[in-house]
Amino acid sequence: GEWQQVKGRFLAVNVTSMSSACPKSPEGLSPCAHLADGTADLILVRECSTFSFLRHLTRHTNSSDQFDLPFVSVHRVRAVRFTASKAGDCEDRELRSRKGLCGGTCQGESPLSCWTCDGETLDHADVSIRVHGRLIHLFARGIERASCVP
C-alpha cells in the first residue's frame, strides 16, 4: 500500500517479526508479532523523561501493557525506511551542538541516530527494512492468543 510518514524525536525505534518472549519478559517485546504473518511490528518510543522510559521498559517484565503509554506507538508494517536528521540540517540548536552520537564512525558525518541489529552496531544512519514473507519454510507453533489475530 501507501507509505505513511512519522516525524519526531525517538528514544527507541524497534522492528520485530517475533514476540521475543522469554522467562524475564513473558509477553516479549511485542506480544502479537509472529513470524508467519509476513509483517513486523514497528514500535516507536518518542522522546520522554528517563523515568517514563524506564516505566515502559519495566512493563515488559510484568503483565502491564507496555504500549499503553502516550509516548509509545505500534504499527504493523511490511517495510520501514528510516532517515535520520543530520546535525547540519537540524533547526534545533541543541541537536546542532551534538557531535557524532555514533562515536564519529557513521559515514564521517554527525548523525543523530545509531542502530544495533542483533547486537551489531551499524555504521550508517539511514535504514531500510523489508519483511520477506514465505521466504523459508518454518515449523513452529501458531499464534497462541486470539486477541493478536488482526
pLDDT in tens, 91-122: 444 444 444 444 444 444 444 567 787 788 87
Which pLDDT score, from 0 to 100, does residue 148 have? Answer: 65
Which pLDDT score, from 0 to 100, does residue 5 have? Answer: 93
4: Cβ contacts below 8 Å, ≥ 6 apart: 75
Average pLDDT over the chain, rounded to an integer: 77
Which pLDDT score, from 0 to 100, does residue 101 have? Answer: 41
Q: What's the CA gap between 140 and 101, in Å, rounded?
A: 39
The torsion of the CA quartet 19, 22, 28, 31, rounded to 10 degrees, works out to: 50
Which pLDDT score, from 0 to 100, does residue 96 have? Answer: 42
What phi, psi does 74 have (nearest 5°)? -125, 135
Q: Does domain 1-79 have CATH number 3.30.499.10?
A: no
Q: What pTM does this model have? A: 0.74
Closest CA to 117 of 9, 14, 12: 14
pLDDT at 43 over 90: yes
Which pLDDT score, from 0 to 100, does residue 106 have? Answer: 43
Q: What pLDDT, in 10s, does the model give residues 49-108?
A: 999 999 999 988 887 788 899 999 999 999 999 987 765 444 444 444 444 444 444 444
Domain with CATH 2.60.200.40 in the chain: 1-79
